Structure 1
């Protein structure tokens, strides 16, 4: 059974990005089996479908033709959590996947050997995704 659905915008709270169109849907499931069953409908990827992972990020980009241009639909992925895997380590881990997928999509994942604005952009996206998930988990009384 799906316990909750949360919309997360990676660019929210990020002073380096002003485009708030793209988002993920984050789903919380009662059991790990239900999480993987839902994941199978969203992706053919089945790495460790029978065991360990209690969360998974599934990027998805849909292109559509609009007024002479190809544009990406606003939803860029789904993140699924088993409700017993909502600790800070797991939430931040999935937030890294969300942020890196988002910045790759925007052609803005440009890291060097120095802490610079590009690394700050990534850190803000990770923090934003984590913050939105955790804030909503508290609002929904899941945490």
Structure 2
């Protein structure tokens, strides 16, 4: 049985969408790999120049409410962050916040990248905050569906 031209077009269109998704995913992964390599090279260059880039970077943790919408729930989780003060014009310089994406943060997240270049230019304090569900900032209750409550709605 032959497909009608309309069915053939729809099938062709769907196959292209699936293939495009795979291609975009590969491009995205390649871009992330190149960015990570570039950041590592910048970091190694800083180390080789004996500029001691890590002396201005501190790691910290802050206790955050597990549920910001329920004051009766006093449970907290520990959220990790890094601070780079190397470029900061104290005390009135701006503060730039780098919010970690879907993955853990590392100290080099405040040492290399476009946001670091902007912090240099504007003499800003640079903060990197780890996402709540990654790295060392995972909820103490884990990632079970029943623990991923936002307000009173289960996500």
> The TM-score by the shorter chain falls in which range?
under 0.3
What TM-score, normalized to structure 2?
0.22
Higher RCO (Cα < 8 Å, 6 or more apart): 1
Q: Per residue, is there more helix in 1 or in 2?
A: 2
What TM-score, normalized to structure 1?
0.23
